[in-house]
Amino acid sequence: MFDAYIGVLVLWPLVAGLLCLVLRSPGVRSTLVLATGAILAIGALGVASQVPFTANPGFLSSETALKVAEGAAFVFPAYFLLRGLMEKHLLVIVFACLQLVLAVVGMLNMPEPQAIASAVVCDGLSLALVLIVAIAGSLICIYALPYMKRHEEHLHLKTSRQPGFFLVLLAFLGFMNGMALSNDLRMFEAFFEATTLCSFLLIGHDNTPEARKSAFRALWMNALGGVMLHSGILLIEKQFGIVDIHAIINPALWTGVSMLPIALLAVAGCVKAAQMPFQGWLLGAMVAPTPVSALLHSSTMVKAGVFLCLRLSPVLQSTNTGRILALAGAFTFFATAALALGQSNAKKILAYSTVSNLGLIIVCAGIGTPIAVAAGVVLMLVHAATKGLLFLCVGDMEQTIGSRDLEDLRGMIAKSPVTALAACAGAIGMVLPPLGMLVGKWATLEAAQADPVIMVFIALGSALAVVCWVRFAGTLMSGKSIEGPHAHTSALTNMPLLTMLASAIGLGMAAPWINALLLPDADAASALAGGWGVMPPLFVVAMLAWIIGMKVLGRQSSVPLASPYMAGLPSAEPNSFVGALGKSWVLTEGNEYATELFGEAKLTKLAGVLAGAFLLALVGGAFI
């Protein structure tokens, strides 16, 4: 039974994608995508009912499968090298060559590692990622069906590229599940590199100059991450002769030996998670169609990076390597929260916020205590649902009015009420109790109480995030309504939005108890419990705020609306007033973005240098 569930999760998405490529009918494609969502959900629930467990499915543990994984160490870099040569992209060429050199070294100079007892080990952390991929990933693929039709109509394409698009999109889900479940470093690396290939193809899907530039930026950065990963694996093989991931994360194994291999793996995770100074590849991914951005941000690619770091957390606890990793994550959390505050592009706000929240999960991994890991898992789950929801909402609003600028989205509640309300709920869920992001931040602060620097970074970043998300929600709900009839969206658009919304709220409300199911040994809930239950003051405050808010809203209909005070004499022209010296002024509405403080031109280079120094110290600290 285990083999069947694992086969469904890993192999079926690839099979469905190939069928989408071969059977090019839109109706067949829709059926396959919907069926894949249902099949992945069944597979994930089947795995959840049995966790924790170990297994040895033939397609992941046989000699042939291992040969395929070892071959992938050559095939993926060779393809990257070919594309780099075609594009004449120096960094892609250099890092692809380094990966090939490492593959040759591994084949010729490394002894055969010890056989592993179980090719698949599914624990709470693995299950969390599988659930993210199966639910959030499937919903995004369903959302992509109507979205890509409108997208190609907008581009006036004569020949649809959707068959290839859905092949890569669905295969991405299978590769992520394979990575989540693999207990063999060689298989893990193969799936890890496969996600790099998928992201490259999806970001460059539209084949515009900007899309190609962003795709190759993502490729060289993640190829660098691949170099770090392969280097760490080779050092582990040389040092211990093992590739069993759960044996490697035994703290006793690292007593009195260099932590350099772990540091290299952690850097690989940071690159994959788009941590500063590597955030550029994720920001560039905004040029891709919205389903790609949503998938990369919520349920694939970047989650692979934080998953790797959380997997290493038992070894990182109470080490210099772990402390530096936590500092690097905390700094990224703060710096990118500030950068998000200086943006008016809605997708860029979401992108910087993603990097920021992933930095918080990296903090949890670096601290490595049970409560920190529990907080990291909560953040990973809730962020996937909430950020997936927000990206889908912004994509729908962009297709409705033709802009993603926050100022152009002012008053969107009148044009697309369902989408705007869902986006507001997602934004509020990022910062307010009792939803999961705030619970996760609270638990992270609890875990980081021994390090005041990390606590300051988290406090400052959280404050900036509150301003950013309240401004985001307020803009959609206020101001002059966008003229025109209500936008009509299809059921395949609304269903993923509403399901994501329900998931975000449900996961957030259940956050204090999630870890009792996923990480029963973490004992995180009891660490935050009082005499009346888990974090009772937070829930009491939230319920009081909800009751008061509903009463205020209920009275709004009887309150007369007044125009804003315009500091001058009334004018015959609408929305204008007469000011000093009889000059006429037009009233304009807009947000303050404080670009002189939080603009990219001001912060990116300085923050990138400091974040890069943290990652260099991470590798250097492994020698101490």
Q: Residues 51-63: what's their mean pLDDT? A: 80
Which two tokens mark 121? 């080990």
The larger pLDDT score, comparing residue 52 to residue 560, is at 52
The larger pLDDT score, comparing residue 364 to residue 425, is at 364
Most confident of 210-214, 546-550, 576-580: 210-214
Residue 197 has pLDDT above 90, yes or no: yes
Is 443 part of any domain? yes
What pLDDT does residue 231 have?
93
Q: Residues 237-246: what's their mean pLDDT? A: 88
What pLDDT does residue 514 have?
63
The answer to whether 276 and 607 have CB atoms below 8 angstroms apart is yes
Residue 573 has pLDDT above 80, yes or no: no
Domain span at residue 351? Answer: 320-529
**Partner residues linked to 578 by β-bridges:** 569, 584
What pLDDT does residue 221 have?
94
**Partner residues linked to 53 by β-bridges:** 122
305-309, 433-437, 551-555: the lowest-pLDDT one: 551-555
What pLDDT does residue 532 have?
39
Average of per-residue pLDDT values in the chain: 83
Residue 488 has pLDDT above 70, yes or no: no
Q: For residue 596, what are the contacts with CB-CB under 8 A and spacing of at least 6?
A: 602
The answer to whether 351 and 296 have CB atoms below 8 angstroms apart is no
Q: Residues 76-80: what's their mean pLDDT? A: 94
What pLDDT does residue 471 have?
87
pLDDT tier for residue 535 given thresholds of 50, 70 and 90 = very low
Number of domains in the chain: 1
Q: Residues 282-298: what's their mean pLDDT? A: 87
Nearest in space to 374 (alpha carbons), one of 535, 525, 530, 539: 525
The answer to whether 32 and 145 have CB atoms below 8 angstroms apart is no
Residue 359 has pLDDT above 70, yes or no: yes
Whole-number Å distance between alpha carbons of 136 and 248: 30
Q: Residues 161-170: what's their mean pLDDT? A: 92
Percent pLDDT > 90 in the chain is 34
pLDDT tier for residue 581 given thresholds of 50, 70 and 90 = low
Burial 451-488 (b: 16+ CB within 10 A, else e): beebbebbebbbebbeebbebbbebbbebeebeeeebe
pLDDT tier for residue 416 given thresholds of 50, 70 and 90 = confident
Q: Residues 504-518: what's their mean pLDDT? A: 65
333-347, 473-487, 529-543: the lowest-pLDDT one: 529-543
What pLDDT does residue 597 have?
75
247-256, 315-324, 408-417: the lowest-pLDDT one: 408-417
Percent pLDDT > 70 in the chain is 84
What pLDDT does residue 395 have?
84
Is 145 part of any domain? no
pLDDT tier for residue 5 given thresholds of 50, 70 and 90 = confident
Is 598 part of any domain? no
State the pTM of this model. Answer: 0.89
Is 257 part of any domain? no
Place of tokens 């994720």: 282
What pLDDT does residue 610 have?
92
Residue 530 has pLDDT above 50, yes or no: no
Most confident of 296-300, 359-363, 577-581, 604-608: 359-363
Sign of CA dihedral 198, 170, 275, 523: negative
pLDDT tier for residue 95 given thresholds of 50, 70 and 90 = very high
Q: Residues 280-295: what's their mean pLDDT? A: 88
Q: Residues 425-443: what's their mean pLDDT? A: 78
Residue 361 has pLDDT above 50, yes or no: yes
Q: Residues 426-434: what's their mean pLDDT? A: 79
pLDDT tier for residue 116 given thresholds of 50, 70 and 90 = confident
Which two tokens mark 366? 């670096």
| pLDDT, tens digit, 9 for 90 and up, residues 512-521 | 566 566 555 5
What pLDDT does residue 526 have?
45
Residue 591 has pLDDT above 80, yes or no: no
Whole-number Å distance between alpha carbons of 398 and 469: 18
Is 464 part of any domain? yes
Is 421 part of any domain? yes
Q: Residues 281-290: what's their mean pLDDT? A: 88
Nearest in space to 373 (alpha carbons), one of 125, 147, 191: 125
Is 328 part of any domain? yes
Longest dimension (CA), the chain: 87
Whole-number Å distance between alpha carbons of 366 and 561: 52
The larger pLDDT score, comparing residue 510 to residue 268, is at 268
CA angle at residue 246 from 245 to 247, to 5 degrees? 90
pLDDT tier for residue 74 given thresholds of 50, 70 and 90 = very high
Q: Residues 231-239: what's their mean pLDDT? A: 91
The answer to whether 420 and 427 have CB atoms below 8 angstroms apart is no
SS3 state at 255: coil
